[in-house]
Amino acid sequence: MEKRIYTDKQEVAEHFARYFASLAQDSAVVHVALSGGSTPKVVFDFMAEQFGTVIDWTKVRFYWGDERCVPPDHVESNYKMTMDHLLSKVAVSSTQVFRIKGERDPEEEAKAYGALLDTELPKANGIPQFDLVILGMGDDGHTASIFPHEIGLWHADENCKVAVHPDSGQRRITINGKIINNAKNVAFLVTGSSKSEKVREIMHREAGFEAYPAALVSPESGNLLWFLDQDAAQGISAST
Ligand code: 6PG
């Protein structure tokens, strides 16, 4: 696991964009699972503006690690956020985009998207394998849409599960821990001082840290990169 600590969100966005561009350059096809939240908005804007012509977007197949169970035009849709901040600004055809259908019955869509991953992705260890899974981490240590109160979802056999947000009760579709840890590369994008306590607890393996789903991210490939801003990393140093 490698930690890269930057001044602010903008610098995280710049360095992640370079990382993604080099990954895309070295691959014929890039199957990437995107995350939602506020950090990716800054990252996607930067990639669209600064790397719109640098990256060969035709190589990229876009999936989501999680989605809110809302229609695709809903303000809380991760798909909508990604369309607004990235996909509407770069040369991508709809055939490259595999959205989770948040408007459908959650249990049915969890099954359907799980089957889509089985069909569209190459497999390693008999499990669908992403080239890159992009993750965020909530203030509570959740990642994708696996929350601490439902940490059992991490160990689910099914590729995708229905999760429930602990505060809003909003249903989500999320990929499981097996798929996350089967990815060739995993990149955490974590910014803001509200994350610093969980970042410290996880990085320092403090008592009870395994209760946080983000702490369970440990790809077999060993290719785990944390992109952090100084606020999120204030409790650790790059070497810890
Ligand atoms: C979501 C995300 C979620 C997010 C974290 C961090 O659908 O909300 O997938 O896991 O990554 O909540 O979000 P921020 O980037 O806003 O801190």
Global confidence as pTM = 0.97
CATH class of 2-180+191-229: alpha beta
Segment 118-167, tens digit of pLDDT:
999 999 999 999 999 999 999 999 999 999 999 999 999 999 999 999 99
* 39 pocket-lining for ligand 1 (C-beta < 6 Å): yes
- Structure tokens, 19: 């990382």
Q: Please tell me the predicted confidence (pLDDT) of residue 240.
A: 63
pLDDT (average), residues 199-216: 97
The answer to whether the beta carbons of residues 106 and 169 sit under 8 Å apart is no
Q: How far apart are CA 213 and CA 153, in angstroms?
A: 9
Q: Please tell me the predicted confidence (pLDDT) of residue 239.
A: 72
DSSP assignment, residue 190? E
DSSP assignment, residue 34? E
DSSP assignment, residue 216? G
- The band of 28, judged by pLDDT with boundaries at 50, 70 and 90, is very high
Instruction: For residue 38, give the ligand 1 atom closest to its CA.
Output: 16
Segment 66-90, tens digit of pLDDT:
999 999 999 999 999 999 999 999 9
* 36 pocket-lining for ligand 1 (C-beta < 6 Å): yes
The answer to whether the beta carbons of residues 113 and 154 sit under 8 Å apart is no
Say whether pLDDT at 61 is over 80. yes
Annotate 104-155 with DSSP letters as a single string.
Answer: S-HHHHHHHHHHHHHHHS-EETTEE--SEEEE---TTS-BTTB-GGGGGGGG
Instruction: For residue 191, give the ligand 1 atom closest to its CA.
Output: 17
